[in-house]
Amino acid sequence: MGFRRRLTVFLMTTLVLVQALTAAAVYSFTRSTLVEQGKAQLADAAGLFVRQLDEIGVQVSADVQVLALDFALRQAIAQRELPTVLSALRNHGRRVGAARVMQVGLDGMIDVDTADPEGHAPTRLFAFPELIDAAAVNGRGASVVAIDGLASWLVVVPVKAPVPIAYIAVYLPLDDALLGKLQKLAALPKAIELAFDDHGAWHPVAGTAAGLLADLPKPGAVLAGTTGPDTSTPDTSTPDTSTNVLQQKDELVLAVPLATPADSTRVVAVLGYSIDEALQQYRLLMFVIVVLLALGLVVALAGAMLIARGVARPVEELAAATRRIESGDYSPPPLLPQEDEIGQLSQALGSMALAISEREERIRYQASHDPVTGLLNRAAFEVAMAPFLAPAHVRGALLSVGLARHQQIVNTVGREIADRVLRDAGARLSNLLAAAGRDVPLGVVGDRSFALFMPGLDAEGAHQWAERIAQHFDRPYLEGDLTIDSAAAVGIALAPIHGATDSELLLHGDVALLSALGSENHVAIYDPATDPHRPEHLSLMSDLREALDQNALQLFYQPKLDLAVGRISGAEALIRWRHPKRGFVPPDAFITLAEETGNIQRLTRWVLEAGIGQVAAWRKMGLALRLSINLSVRDLADESLPERIGALMAAYDVPADYLVLEVTESAIMGKPDAAIAVLRRLANQGIALSVDDFGVGQSSLNYLRRLPVSELKIDKSFVLKLAETPDDRTIVQSVVELGHRLGYSVTAEGIEDEASLALLSNYGCDYGQGYHIGKPMPAEVFNRFLSDARWRGKRLQEAS
């Protein structure tokens, strides 16, 4: 949808919405006003209806009181001439329109009943004694009652001679005729119904309209909270209708409970007010409003189209210009004649197109060139080199050139001068290639390195070019009084031997450059054996993580001999990995890789759980063997290590003194304060700590005295040829004496013969391990080894 159409639609939608909201507001206000008026009218009508009923009761009471004063009637009642009384009551009932007239004795029994075929029912009690009480006190009692499925206005007056001798009760039916008569006498609603509660359902008894009871709540809800009225005097007050007005679709309904005796079913008058009829007089007005709105919309549509056309035409021209700019055509759009905002926008769009053209050219250059030297950057160099590598098995050489002392130059004279040195180096390479007539890709591929690809060169030719480049940088960089050595190193990667793609050659060229920077002649060719980024290293680490997930590693156990008693008192846990494809992987290979990649802590957690679980198994076999486990530098940096080990010991029910943790001197001395803090927490748990490989590395007695260790483990380099080397014997004996003086036990590892074992026993060494005692072996083999007659495993009874 175009701008012009959108503008027209917007204007029309806004107008329609405003007009619709106006019409809706008028209708809503009118309807709500009529509803409130209807509620008020119903309330007034309810009061009027009750007053009319009371007036009828007053009139009937007056007629009955006249009858009660009749001497003949009083005489007949006094003499109990019941037929005479029945005749008089029937005649009077016909005159006043009563459905039923009774004579009630002072005992409350019905003496005469015009509704009874016999005319009297001496065994029946009058149903509403409270009306008799009211008549005795006030001269009359009147109320609405429900009896025999009909509603009536019941009036009771006394017959006195001169004291009350009986009571006359007149039942005036509240039927359709009476309701119609009341509607003619006063402004009552067209719809009136009378009903009473018939076992939880409404029972209609009279009405001028049907349907009012359909949606009315159950009688219990309407009559809740109302009580029987005081029938001593009729209630002529306006009833409280505030909670009984209901809105049913297009009609208001008001339920008014009428005053009834306590023994009578409650009668309700239901009055209806039609909202739809009340709105009828406003329908013509609403029709006129709709017609006027429609005419206004037609006029507004024509005006909106004219406005949209005038506004949209220059906008459409500007939109066409922006589409040209989007497609890469930055020619400025034609200037519009207007001087308003649209004209200013046209001028700004032209200026923007010119600025975008210049900026895009600059960005394109910056995206493909190094900002310091102006040479191709790495991405652009790869693109430039790609055509030379397109033929399969093409031969060529990538030469990576780097300044040998670039970082030193930066640190000494600053980045600004270092950038000028780098710019000079790029110019030297460009001039060298131009002088040789070689139009080959040249670019900056690193912070201090260049790369150029020489197609067709073999190893010898590449080496000659590398030496030529290195010699070209023998001349120092001069700037004023400043002389800077700008010697360069060159790394060589050959295609396709060292890589068939630009990324492979650049990567291997960087590796070769690192080797060249460390060599004397500053020229080196890529050697896969020295590449630390070989893919198999990453593959091996991935396989190790998978082996940990699948529990594919295995712990071997090398026995540890108690030299004093000649019993196996423990073992050292050594991890082994048999790769499904590579076979046996040396521990040094994957452990070192795990330390470099940050996976050593996960490896240690696996060893700890497997090892502590094995100690628990030995304890169940009745063996008291202490297990030694090695910790790395990264393990000692883990502050949660003591809690983790404590949790494992508790989970496997292994006492703390059954575990020995071995740490190297270099691991402790890397971050001594943090390492010592972790070691102390472990020692406080009762775990024994041992200094592994003691005597090599960064030995420091100052740190040693601060460590909470209980064992020194002499490095195997001093023990392997102990029987043959006097110097080794002197060192070992001295270490044993030193350890004992410091309160440590001493373990010698690397015992390969019986003579060395005997010497260590004579020196007082506490423990020994080595191939002469037993090589590392799986748990099941180790368990069989413990049954050897010479060195049996220490039993739990011996440990206790």
Q: State pLDDT tens for residues 261-277.
A: 877 778 888 877 777 77
Nearest to 489 by CA among 508, 506, 505, 472: 472
Task: Among 68-82, 253-267, 462-476, name the most confident range.
Answer: 462-476
Helices (H), 139-206: 176-185
Q: How far apart are CA 74 and CA 69, in angstroms?
A: 7
State what percent of residues in the chain have pLDDT above 70: 86
Region class of 345: left (phi > 0), else alpha (psi between -120 and 50), else beta: alpha
At residue 351 the predicted structure's pLDDT band, cuts being 50, 70 and 90, is confident
Average pLDDT over residues 692-708: 73
Element counts in the chain: helices (H) and strands (E): 26, 26
Q: What pLDDT is recorded for position 645?
A: 96
The angle subtended at Cα 618 by Cα 614 and Cα 624, nearest 5°, is 120
Of the listed ranges 41-50, 178-187, 630-639, the least confidently predicted one is 178-187
Q: Which amino acid is at 264?
A: S
With contact defined as beta carbons under 8 Å apart, do 227 and 235 qualify?
no
* Residue 378: C-alpha distances to residues 102, 236, 512 (Å): 121, 104, 17
pLDDT band at 759 (very low <50, low <70, confident <90, very high): very high
Top-confidence residue, 284 or 415: 415
What is residue 82's predicted lDDT score, i.e. its pLDDT? Answer: 86
Average pLDDT over residues 209-226: 65
pLDDT at 353: 73
Q: Tell me which long-range contacts 734-738 makes (C-beta under 8 A, separation of at least 24).
A: 735/694, 735/695, 736/760, 736/763, 736/764, 736/765, 737/764, 738/712
Give yes or no for a cis peptide into 672 (omega within 30° of 0): no
* Location of structure tokens 């073992």: 571
CB distance 728 to 695 below 8 Å? no
Q: Is the pLDDT of residue 237 over 50?
A: no
Q: Is the pLDDT of residue 238 over 50?
A: no
**Which spans in 69-113 are helix H?**
71-78, 82-96
Per-chain mean pLDDT for the chain: 83
The more confidently predicted of residues 707 and 314 is 707
For the CA atoms of 301, 302, 308, 310, the dihedral, rounded to the nearest 10 degrees, stands at -170
Mean pLDDT, range 538-567, rounded to an integer: 89
DSSP 69: T
Task: Say if CB 489 and CB 522 are below 8 A apart.
Answer: yes
Among residues 90, 98, 194, the alpha carbon closest in space to that of 154 is found at 98
Specify whether the CB–CB gap between 45 and 39 falls below 8 A. Answer: no
Collapsed DSSP state (helix, strand, coil) of residue 792:
coil
In the predicted model, what is the mean pLDDT of residues 524-549? 78
As annotated, the residues of the chain forming the CATH 3.30.450.20 domain(s) are 55-176
Out of 173-187, 204-218, 296-310, 765-779, give the one with best mean pLDDT: 765-779
Q: Strands 150-160 and 583-585, how do they pair?
A: unpaired
3-state SS, residue 397: strand
The greatest distance separating any two alpha carbons of the chain, rounded to the nearest whole angstrom, comes to 161
Q: Per-residue confidence at 2, pLDDT binned at 50, 70, 90?
A: low
CATH homologous superfamily for the domain 537-790: EAL domain (3.20.20.450)
Q: What is the pLDDT of residue 40?
A: 79
**Residues of the chain above pLDDT 90, percent:** 35
CA pair distance 195, 207, nearest whole angstrom: 9
CA 160 from chain centre, in angstroms, equals: 89
Greatest mean pLDDT range, 64-78, 298-312, 686-700, 772-786: 772-786
| pLDDT band at residue 312 under the 50/70/90 scheme | low
Q: Which comes out higher in pLDDT, residue 628 or 695? A: 628
Cβ-contact 709, 687 below 8 angstroms:
no
Architecture of domain 55-176: 2-Layer Sandwich (3.30)
Section 720-725 average pLDDT? 92
Summarised one tens digit per residue, pLDDT across range 742-757 is: 999 999 999 999 999 9
Alpha helices in 452-501, H assignment, sequence order: 459-472
Q: Where are the beta strands (DSSP E) in 34-128?
A: 100-104, 110-113
> H/E element holding 411?
helix 406-413
Phi-psi region of 18 (alpha: psi -120 to 50; beta: other; left: phi over 0): alpha
- Residue 270: φ, ψ to 5°: -110, 120
pLDDT higher than threshold 60 for residue 323 = yes
Q: What number is the average pLDDT over the span 447-459?
A: 90
The CATH superfamily holding the domain 378-533 is: Reverse transcriptase/Diguanylate cyclase domain (3.30.70.270)
Tokens read off for 619: 């304890």
Beta strands of 293-404 (E only): which ranges? 396-403
Classify each residue of 233-265 as buried b or exposed e, where b means 16 or more C-beta atoms within 10 Å of its C-beta: ebbeeebebeebbbeeeebbbbbbbbbbbeebb
For 565-599, what is each residue's pLDDT tens digit? Answer: 999 999 999 999 998 888 888 887 788 778 767 78
746 near 740, Cβ under 8 Å? yes
Judge whether residue 791 has pLDDT over 60: yes
- pLDDT tens-digit profile of 61-108? 888 888 888 888 888 888 888 888 888 888 888 888 888 899 998 988
> Could you give the residue ranges of the DSSP H alpha helices within 437-550?
459-472, 502-517, 535-549
DSSP string, 564-600: TTTEEEEEEEEEEEEETTTEEE-HHHHHHHHHHHT-H
Q: How would you list the strands of the sheet with 110-113, edge to edge?
A: 110-113, 100-104, 164-173, 150-160, 141-147
pLDDT band at 188 (very low <50, low <70, confident <90, very high): low
DSSP letter at 331 equals P
Per-residue pLDDT, 490: 95
Look at residue 340 and tell me whether its pLDDT is greater than 80: no
What is the chain's length?
800
Q: How far apart are CA 117 and CA 115, in angstroms?
A: 6
Whole-number pLDDT of residue 243: 47
CATH 3.30.70.270-classified regions of the chain: 378-533
**Residue with structure tokens 């700008």?**
486
pLDDT for the residue 612: 97
What is the rounded CA–CA span in Å between residue 557 and residue 72? 135
- Structure-token match 């709709």, residue found: 290
Q: What is the Cα–Cα distance from 669 to 134, expressed in whole angstroms? A: 112
For residue 264 the two structure tokens come to: 């009578």
Q: How confident is residue 329, by pLDDT bands cut at 50, 70 and 90?
A: confident
At residue 382 the predicted structure's pLDDT band, cuts being 50, 70 and 90, is: very high
Residue 800 scores a pLDDT above 60: no
Give the residue ranges of DSSP H helices in 139-191. Answer: 176-185
State how beta strands 191-198 and 442-444 pair: unpaired
Average pLDDT over residues 350-356: 77
CA trace torsion 617, 619, 623, 625 (10° rounding): 80
| Higher-pLDDT residue of 696, 472 | 472
The answer to whether the beta carbons of residues 172 and 56 sit under 8 Å apart is yes
- Strand 449-455 and strand 482-484: the pairing is unpaired
As a whole number of angstroms, the distance between CA 490 and CA 466 comes to 6
- 124 and 110 in contact (C-beta within 8 Å)? yes
2-11, 271-280, 400-409, 531-540 — most confident range: 400-409
pLDDT for 116 equals 81
- Alpha-carbon distance of 500 to 493, in angstroms, equals 10
pLDDT score at 182 = 74
pLDDT at 555: 96
Place of tokens 């001269």: 139
- How far apart CA 305 and CA 7 sit, in angstroms, is 8
Q: How far apart are CA 400 and CA 339, in angstroms?
A: 61
Which of residues 705 and 566 earns the better pLDDT score?
566
β-strand 110-113 against 191-198: which pairing, if any? unpaired
The tokens for 520 are 């004397």
- How does pLDDT run across 11-58, given as a tens digit for each residue? 778 878 887 888 788 778 877 877 777 777 777 777 777 887 788 778
